[in-house]
Structure 1
C-alpha cells in the first residue's frame, strides 16, 4: 500500500509541476502584451449566462494615449464586484482592444503555490518509497 501511495504522490508531483509551469508561462507571455492602467468603474453591465443566471461585467473608463476609452471588462462575476465611480487597477491589451480588472491574487501566485505543493508531493512520495527499501 505504501508503494502505491508513494508512486501516486510522485505522479501528482509531476502533474502539478507541469500545470505550474504552464500557468507561469501563460501568465508571463500575457503579461508582456498588456499594460497596467488605472480605470474608473462607470457601471456594472448585467448579462445572463447559459443557465440564465446574472453575470456582472464592469464597464471601465480610462485614459490611453491621450484619449478617453470605455471598455467592458472581459471577465464578469455573479455579484457586483465593483461600485460605480470606484477606481480599480486593470490590464489593457491594445492589440485586441480588450481589458480585464487586475485580480487581487494573480496567476504568478497560483503557479508558485502549485510548485510548492508539487515539491511537497515529491518529497512525500520519495520518503514513502525509500521507507519500503
Structure 2
C-alpha cells in the first residue's frame, strides 16, 4: 500500500505485546461485549416500560416501582469503586465472564420471581425482583 506520493506507508499502528500486526482481531470478544451491552440496554429500556404493569398485577404499592427502577443505578454507582480495582488486577476475560454470568442470573431471577408470584399466588416477591435488579446493576 502506498501513500498519495507513491511512497510506501510506514506501519503506523503500534504492535501490541505478544501480537503481530498480521494476526486477526478477536472478533468473538468484540461480538460478546457488544451483545452484552445491547442486551443490558434493551433489558433496562424494556423494564422501564413493563415494570409498572407487572407491579400492578402483583398488587404491589406504587413506591415499589420507584425503588425497583432506582436499584440498578444505585448498585452500579456503589459497585464501581469496588469492581474497578478488581478489573484492573485480573484478566478482562475473567471479569467479562463474571459479568455475563451475573447478567444471565439476573434475567433468570427476574423471570422466575414474576412467574412464581403469578403461579402460586404466594407472598409478594419484591425482594427477589429487587435483588435481580441489583444484580443487573452489578453486572453492568
**What TM-score, normalized to structure 1?**
0.31
Greater share of residues in strand: 1
The one of the two structures with greater contact order (alpha-carbon pairs below 8 A, sep at least 6) is 1
**What TM-score, normalized to structure 2?**
0.30
